[in-house]
């Protein structure tokens, strides 16, 4: 028999026995037919170590799925999943021998195997990924085979020689497979895959953390054993039968905690997690009472996920106590059914051999979402991004006032919540009450929040909402509304938003000159026919082109951190500083200073801020959120380079204006130049032209670096008055120094200045 030659690598008889223990109706005959077919197909093939027969891999995948109590079809499909891709045998042959269901599952896994995830994926690979997910909407069991396949491949990843390939596979696993496992609630797969990815992506950190937890395990061994003995004894006294064991720590979760809270390995709390599995829900709460009666609880760590399950269906009671010898001990209490659900998620339903209706499982919502994402995605790359944003993110659960749970991706805002309830509510969202307190619609929600959306018929979706909408559904509805707005309004709003981004980036006033230089790049970059500046404004106004992306095309972003200086003007009120600080803290990696003072009988408040950002991409969000704070009047960026340049130009202008007649008089007194010579006239008028040029450049610099001043009437009054004011000292100079100047030349120069100012003013009026 063929199995004998593989005895060193796997025990097929033992695997079949384990399957029959949970699946008495399992057809050993059909399974062995599939085994012999796979053995024939993979004969002569080896794994990456060059020694292990390739057949050991599909058998390992079968073994992983058997531990989940997988059904017969999925076990046979797992055995055959690499045949069409890696051998001469075709899918049609599999269909003929084993039936349509098995060939469908094998085909769906094969499609995903063609995908090699990277920053820039080919159209063919993205199309394969799309087809795989659309296949999964018909039968999600294909995903489970692929997860088991990837888990075994990650366990043997060290056999791949090229380190860059190992990193690519690990990154692909972390960004695609781990979110899928989380989506389906299969914590067993999720935790194992995360730790294996962590090992290859961050080997130094993994090694340090592994050794730290191993040391901690040795130190706490006695205390853990004592705690388990004491709890077992207490439960036995109360006639509660329970399985109690220490849970293995997920190293990647610890690492993420370190990164999120700025901790080092030394800062990690030396706690352990004990899992208690009982028979009934009532016993869960009874066990909790016994533990809290015996040990001092940490009240801030209690969570009731039985009454309030997580979005992926997870249920348990979580608590934390000062256990034996004072060791901080996290405790998870659940029933056997909850444990099966927690470890195997939706698979617990798929492989429930009482034939449940899997489409009624709450975790099955992503089937509809994948179809929705596919419909809304115009480009293949768009599909990948929306899949990651809408489906692969961690989830949160938000409640309506009536207690209805709404499932959303982590980072979702009130806007997403409102649209999830009803598109009409989303369209007219004014603000919302979160746990009884009023917040603007752009506020980010946290799991467990109770939200009441306040609407107004006078409110309609605005362009900046797109920056805070996380779900594809909300974004598509906002864009749908914006597309119906009049062309004039689209151009106006698009222009305003682009000007705002220009001001943030210090690029000055938006004008046709910048567009002419790079308009050919825009159509390629944004996939739209952009021929004029108004076309660009329209694209921005519809939400199809991001203003920040336009700025990036003009001014390439820094790879390093960015220091941002802000000035904030507001109406003074209690709590204003706290609200400003919360926004800045959320987006900045460091805050160098935040100064505030009141003026005008404490009615107005002024703030000067310097923060450090990891990316310029979040600056627009900072401005939007600050401007939504009650009482904020203005938020603008200060460029100290611009301030210093303005002071320098002003000083030079004044100095030249004062020195100009004196220099001419010296030349005259020393009889170096004749009054009536052409050289004298050239020097005189050239000097005046330079002075007028400096005045104009000073005005340009002011408009570029001081957007608040640009929009004030005062600046324009000053700009138009300056040439007239300049002629007054000029008259004095002529009379006092007895200079002979050409009034015709002077008037021409003044006319040129006013022509420039007039054109600038007309352009400005068109923008507002």
Q: Active-site residue numbers?
A: 85-86
CA dist 743 and 749 (Å) reads 10
Closest CA to 82 of 129, 47, 122, 118: 47
CA angle in degrees (0–180, nearest 5) for 346-176-113: 95
CA dist 405 and 654 (Å) reads 67
3-state SS assignment for residue 485: coil
Cβ atoms of 213 and 251 closer than 8 Å:
yes
Closest CA to 209 of 159, 168, 259, 281: 259
Strands 272-278 and 243-246: antiparallel
Cα 682 versus chain centre, distance: 62
Report helix angle 281-294 to 203-237, nearest 10.
100
The CA distances from residue 261 to 248, 255, 409, 412, 582, in Å, are: 22, 10, 21, 21, 16
CA dist 440 and 215 (Å) reads 48
The CA distances from residue 271 to 205, 323, 379, in Å, are: 19, 10, 47
Closest CA to 212 of 253, 175, 265: 265
Token look-up 């090699």 returns 116
Token look-up 């997910």 returns 133
Pull the structure tokens for residue 604.
Answer: 């107005």
For residue 604, the surrounding DSSP H or E stretch is strand 604-613
Q: Where are the alpha helices (DSSP H) in 173-280?
A: 178-183, 187-201, 203-237, 251-261
CA dist 704 and 222 (Å) reads 69
Cβ atoms of 523 and 529 closer than 8 Å:
yes
The CA distances from residue 12 to 6, 339, 515, 595, in Å, are: 9, 28, 69, 72
3-state SS assignment for residue 240: coil
CA dist 16 and 315 (Å) reads 32
Q: What is the 3 state secondary structure string of 407-448?
A: EEECCCEHHHHHHHHCHHHHHCEEEEEECCEEEECCCECCCC
Cβ atoms of 342 and 287 closer than 8 Å:
no
CA dist 668 and 42 (Å) reads 102
Closest CA to 29 of 109, 113, 98: 98
CA dist 101 and 73 (Å) reads 7
CA end-to-end distance (rounded Å), the chain: 85
Residue 372: which residues within 8 A CB-CB, separation 6 or more? 472, 473
- Residue 481 CB: number of other CB atoms within 10 A? 18
Closest CA to 185 of 356, 316, 371: 316
Cβ atoms of 351 and 71 closer than 8 Å:
yes
Cβ atoms of 716 and 761 closer than 8 Å:
yes
3-state SS assignment for residue 167: helix
- Residue 93 CB: number of other CB atoms within 10 A? 15
Report helix angle 365-376 to 380-390, nearest 10.
150
């Amino acid at each position: 028999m063929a199995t004998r030659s593989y005895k060193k690598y796997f025990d097929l008889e033992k695997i079949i026995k384990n399957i029959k223990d949970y699946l008495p109706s399992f057809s050993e005959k059909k399974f062995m037919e599939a085994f012999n077919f796979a053995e024939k197909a993979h004969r002569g093939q080896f794994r990456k170590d060059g020694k292990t027969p390739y057949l050991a891999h599909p058998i390992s995948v079968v073994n992983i799925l058997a531990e989940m109590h997988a059904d017969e079809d999925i076990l046979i499909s797992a055995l055959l999943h690499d045949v069409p891709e890696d051998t001469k045998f075709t899918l049609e042959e599999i269909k003929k021998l084993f039936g349509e269901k098995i060939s469908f599952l094998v085909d769906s896994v094969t499609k995903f195997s063609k995908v090699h995830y990277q920053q820039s994926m080919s159209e063919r690979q993205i199309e394969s990924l799309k087809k795989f997910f659309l296949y999964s909407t018909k039968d999600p069991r294909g995903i489970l085979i692929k997860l088991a396949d990837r888990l075994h491949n990650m366990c043997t990843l060290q056999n791949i020689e090229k380190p860059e390939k190992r990193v690519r596979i690990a990154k692909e696993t972390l960004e695609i497979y781990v979110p899928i496992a989380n989506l389906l609630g299969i914590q067993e797969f999720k935790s194992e895959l995360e730790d294996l990815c962590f090992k290859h992506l961050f080997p130094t950190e993994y090694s340090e953390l592994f050794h730290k937890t191993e040391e901690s395990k040795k130190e706490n061994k006695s205390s853990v054993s004592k705690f388990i003995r004491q709890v077992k004894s207490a439960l036995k006294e109360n006639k509660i039968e329970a399985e109690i064991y220490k849970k293995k720590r997920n190293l990647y979760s610890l690492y993420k905690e370190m990164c999120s809270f700025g901790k080092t390995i030394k800062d990690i709390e030396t706690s352990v997690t004990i899992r208690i599995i009982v028979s009934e829900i009532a016993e869960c709460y009874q066990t909790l009472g016994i533990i809290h009666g015996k040990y001092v609880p940490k009240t801030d760590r209690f969570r009731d996920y039985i009454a309030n399950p997580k979005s992926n269906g997870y249920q348990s009671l979580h608590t934390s106590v000062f256990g034996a010898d004072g060791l901080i001990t996290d405790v998870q209490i659940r029933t056997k059914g909850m444990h099966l659900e927690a470890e195997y998620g939706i698979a617990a339903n798929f492989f429930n051999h009482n034939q449940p209706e899997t489409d009624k499982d709450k975790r099955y919502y992503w089937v509809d979402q994948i179809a929705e994402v596919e419909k809304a995605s115009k480009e293949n790359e768009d599909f990948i991004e929306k899949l990651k944003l809408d489906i692969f993110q961690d989830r949160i659960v938000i409640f309506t006032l009536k207690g209805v749970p709404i499932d959303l991706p982590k980072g979702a805002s009130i806007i997403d919540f409102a649209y999830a309830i009803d598109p009409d509510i989303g369209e007219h969202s004014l603000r919302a009450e979160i746990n009884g307190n009023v917040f603007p619609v752009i506020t980010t929600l946290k799991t467990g929040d109770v939200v009441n959306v306040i609407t107004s018929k006078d409110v309609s979706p605005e362009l900046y909402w797109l920056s805070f909408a996380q779900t594809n559904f909300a974004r598509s509805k906002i864009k749908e509304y914006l597309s119906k707005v009049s062309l004039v309004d689209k151009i106006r709003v698009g222009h305003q938003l682009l000007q705002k981004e220009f001001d943030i980036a210090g690029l000055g006033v938006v004008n046709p000159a910048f567009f002419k230089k790079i308009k050919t790049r825009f159509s390629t970059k944004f996939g739209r026919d952009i021929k004029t500046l108004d076309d660009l404004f329209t694209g921005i106004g519809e939400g199809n082109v991001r203003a920040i992306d336009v700025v990036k095309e003009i001014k390439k972003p820094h790879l390093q951190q960015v220091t941002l200086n802000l000035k904030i003007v507001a109406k003074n009120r209690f709590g204003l500083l706290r609200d400003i600080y919360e926004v800045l803290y959320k987006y900045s990696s460091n805050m160098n200073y935040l100064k505030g003072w009141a003026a005008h009988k404490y009615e107005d408040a002024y703030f000067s801020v310097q923060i450090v950002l990891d990316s310029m991409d979040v600056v627009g969000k900072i401005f939007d959120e600050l401007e939504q704070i009650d009482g904020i009047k203005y938020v603008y960026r200060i460029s100290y380079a611009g301030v210093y340049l303005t002071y320098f130009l002003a000083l030079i202008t004044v100095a030249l204006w004062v020195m100009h007649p004196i220099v001419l008089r010296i030349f005259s007194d020393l009889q170096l130049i004749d009054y009536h010579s052409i050289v004298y006239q050239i020097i005189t008028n050239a000097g005046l032209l330079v002075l007028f040029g400096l005045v104009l450049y000073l005005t340009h610099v002011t408009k570029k670096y001081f957007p608040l001043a640009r929009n004030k009437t005062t600046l324009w009054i000053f700009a138009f008055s300056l040439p007239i004011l300049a002629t007054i000292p000029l008259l004095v100079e002529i009379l006092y120094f007895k200079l002979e100047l050409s009034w015709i030349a002077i008037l021409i120069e003044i006319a040129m200045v006013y022509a420039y100012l007039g054109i600038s003013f007309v352009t400005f009026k068109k923008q507002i």
